[in-house]
């Protein structure tokens, strides 16, 4: 335990220079500053009793944000909020934690694969990659920053499972996979091909086809554990305006990377644009390229020498595996891969092909560790030069463009401002929303007829009020319609009219007095997802509790 703490603090020290700006009393502007609003809405919904959180009540007239947006980092944020910190510091802690934990998981993976020295170099390459700075200081990509934690952990759990199949190791892989599934949809889509290749590599090198079964068991349980989110996110996607996710600026065709940009040292805080005039850096990193060049030269040298080839066959195969994955990630960022993007419609939701840089630097870090392991204690000077060089070359990227006053974020914390939709994206608007323009109202009103509203109460998923209807009325409710919303009048479920142009709930009532209850319920798909997750959680608990008594593993 003491040794583990020493390693943790050492890795935190390595990471510290990349996260220093988060320790400032002020925060800074990033492209995705809406994560502040998401954190606030998650906490508000969760602590009002909604679980799992799907509906956020204060983004315009409410939206099913966490029905589709992976929620795990925001659940963690809600827990951190219990300490009494404001949401700006909650966000800072989440970014800091993602950086430190990704260093820890990369160390664990490469320590298992190689040795301590190799693992330390891998941590430096993984932590100081320019794209990591793009993610946290330019884009403000909170969820993607957390995805970096799970990439090494999933590979590590798979490696352990290939050595010995046990319930503990299966469950480690289950939680690692489920963690990624619940952290970032796009990162999951990008990472799965490399994971499947890793599994194939382990099966072939171990010459044990039985390894397929524990891996598939872990995959099934992880999908089951995350089903409460994955099932609705997949099957209810037809109810949101996905065009806002894949057209216009978000069309992947506008964001391929020119080959020269992988080598460019350009740095900027602008946007990804058509052509080569991007305001973002898409570089791999000069020192990272140096590592790749060393790996290439070493591989060619060993192949040309027959004796070395035979003696180092296992190492060369592993190096080839890493190289193929790296080249594949690079290829998918270039426009020559457009035919693949066109052939697989789901890839359109990745939006930006350069997001595969996350996969690229993951494999570069492992390649660096592999080289260190091969040379053992030879070329010590080169080893230390690489570490110093990767810090010196990239440290300057880990800083924000400018700090801003906390008041900048007020519009993402102020309920009334959020309800007006100020600077909010339209990523998850239900298909019934024809326009977001219109006069704002906060209490039920009659589009036709006359009503008097009293005792209006609301929480994140429940709205109650008394209505006295003077003449037959068509009533508009300040809630965006989405499957699951039910309306009861005097404890009787009533049918709803077609939503308004703003996509709001509407229903008709004849003359009379009514107690109206409106509640967001689970659809059959969400209910099935919840049940699958619950059953999976119970099955996992039973496997863990009775692993020794009945399973002897």
Domain boundaries, the chain: 2-408, 445-521
Q: State whether residue 134 is helix, strand or coil.
A: helix
CATH pick for 445-521 out of 2.60.40, 3.30.360, 2.40.50, 2.40.160: 2.60.40
CA torsion through residues 57, 62, 64, 66, sign = negative
Residues of 205-239 as b/e, b for ≥16 C-beta within 10 angstroms? eeeeeebeebbebbbebbbbbbbbbbbbbeebeeb
pLDDT of residue 393: 95
Backbone φ and ψ for 469, nearest 5 degrees, come out as -95, 115
pLDDT tens, residue by residue, 126-151? 999 999 999 999 999 999 999 999 99
Q: Which of 553, 526, 539 is nearest to 227 (CA)?
A: 526
For the ranges 107-121, 138-152, 273-287, the lowest mean pLDDT is seen at 273-287
pLDDT tens, residue by residue, 31-44? 887 889 899 999 99
pLDDT tens, residue by residue, 14-31? 999 999 999 998 899 888
Q: Is residue 305's pLDDT more than 90?
A: no
pLDDT of residue 19: 96
Region 242-261: what's the mean pLDDT? 85
pLDDT of residue 33: 79
pLDDT of residue 63: 93
Region 115-136: what's the mean pLDDT? 97
Region 169-195: what's the mean pLDDT? 96
Alpha-helical segments (H) within 211-254:
212-225, 227-235, 243-246
Q: Which two tokens stand for residue 366?
A: 């492992």
pLDDT of residue 32: 84
Count of CA atoms in the C-beta half-sphere (13 A) of 457: 8
Backbone φ and ψ for 240, nearest 5 degrees, come out as -120, 160
Region 503-519: what's the mean pLDDT? 93
Number of other CB atoms surrounding residue 341 within 10 Å: 18
For the ranges 315-329, 359-373, 426-440, the lowest mean pLDDT is seen at 426-440
- Which has the higher per-residue pLDDT, 9 or 553? 9
Question: Which pLDDT band, with edges at 50, 70 and 90, does 423 fall under?
Answer: low
Mean pLDDT of the chain: 91
This prediction has a pTM of 0.93
CB neighbour list of residue 259: distance below 8 Å, 6 or more residues apart: 334
pLDDT tens, residue by residue, 516-528? 999 999 999 999 9
pLDDT tens, residue by residue, 146-165? 999 999 999 999 999 999 88
Instruction: Judge contact between 102 and 128, C-beta under 8 A.
Output: no
- Which has the higher per-residue pLDDT, 358 or 276? 358
Question: Which pLDDT band, with edges at 50, 70 and 90, does 549 fall under?
Answer: low
Question: Which pLDDT band, with edges at 50, 70 and 90, does 311 fall under?
Answer: low
466 has which bridge partners?
454, 515
Instruction: Judge contact between 32 and 139, C-beta under 8 A.
Output: yes
pLDDT of residue 29: 86
pLDDT of residue 17: 95
- Which has the higher per-residue pLDDT, 365 or 268? 365
Number of other CB atoms surrounding residue 276 within 10 Å: 12
Q: Is residue 177's pLDDT more than 80?
A: yes
Q: Which two tokens stand for residue 472?
A: 């037959």
């Amino acid at each position: 335990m003491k040794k583990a703490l020493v390693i943790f603090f050492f890795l935190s020290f390595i990471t510290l220079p990349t996260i220093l700006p988060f320790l400032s009393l002020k925060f800074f502007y990033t492209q995705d500053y809406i994560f502040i609003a998401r954190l606030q809405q998650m906490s508000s919904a969760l602590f009002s009793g909604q679980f799992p959180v799907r509906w956020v009540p204060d983004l315009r007239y409410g939206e099913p944000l966490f029905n589709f947006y992976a929620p795990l980092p925001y659940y963690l944020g809600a827990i951190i909020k219990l300490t009494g910190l404001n949401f700006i510091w909650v966000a800072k802690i989440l970014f800091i934690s993602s950086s430190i934990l990704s260093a820890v998981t990369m160390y664990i993976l490469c320590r298992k694969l190689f040795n301590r020295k190799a693992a330390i170099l891998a941590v430096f390459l993984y932590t100081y990659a320019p794209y990591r700075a793009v993610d946290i200081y330019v884009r403000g990509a909170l969820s993607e920053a957390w995805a970096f934690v799970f990439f090494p952990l999933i590979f590590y759990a798979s490696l352990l499972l290939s050595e010995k199949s046990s319930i503990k190791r299966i469950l480690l892989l289950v939680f690692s996979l489920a963690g990624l599934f619940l952290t970032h949809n796009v990162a999951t889509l990008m990472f799965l091909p490399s994971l499947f290749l890793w599994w194939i590599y382990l099966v072939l090198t171990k010459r044990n086809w039985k390894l397929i079964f524990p891996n598939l068991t872990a995959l099934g349980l992880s999908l089951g554990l995350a089903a409460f989110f994955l099932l609705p996110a997949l099957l209810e996607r037809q109810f949101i305006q996905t065009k806002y996710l894949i057209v216009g600026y978000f069309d992947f065709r506008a964001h391929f990377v020119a080959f020269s940009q992988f080598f460019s040292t350009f740095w900027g805080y602008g946007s990804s644009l058509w052509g080569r005039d991007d305001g973002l850096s898409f570089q791999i990193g000069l020192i990272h390229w140096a590592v790749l060049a060393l790996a290439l030269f070493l591989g060619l040298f060993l192949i040309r020498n027959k004796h070395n080839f035979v003696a180092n066959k296992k190492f060369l195969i592993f190096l080839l595996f890493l190289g193929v994955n790296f080249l594949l990630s690079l290829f998918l960022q270039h426009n020559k891969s457009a035919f693949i993007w066109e052939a697989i419609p789901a890839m359109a939701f990745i939006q930006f092909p350069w997001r595969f840089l996350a996969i690229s630097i993951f494999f570069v870090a492992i390649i660096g560790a592999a080289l260190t392991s091969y040379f053992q204690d030879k070329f010590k000077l080169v080893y230390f030069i690489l570490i110093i060089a990767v810090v010196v070359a990239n440290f300057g990227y880990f800083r924000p463009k400018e700090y801003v006053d906390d008041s900048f974020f007020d519009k993402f914390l102020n309920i009334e401002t959020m309800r007006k939709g100020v600077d909010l994206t339209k990523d998850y608007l239900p298909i019934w929303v024809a326009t977001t323009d219109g006069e704002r109202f906060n209490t039920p009103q009659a589009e036709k007829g006359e009503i008097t509203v009293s005792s209006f109460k609301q929480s994140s998923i429940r709205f109650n009020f008394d209505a006295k209807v003077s003449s037959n009325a068509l009533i508009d409710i300040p809630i965006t319609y989405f499957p699951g919303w039910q309306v009861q009048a005097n404890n009787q479920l009533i049918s709803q009219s077609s939503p308004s142009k703003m996509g709001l709930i509407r229903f008709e009532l004849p003359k009379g007095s009514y107690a109206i209850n409106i509640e967001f319920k689970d659809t059959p798909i969400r209910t099935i997802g919840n049940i699958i997750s619950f059953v999976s959680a119970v099955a996992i608990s039973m496997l863990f509790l009775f692993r020794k008594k009945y399973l002897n593993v």
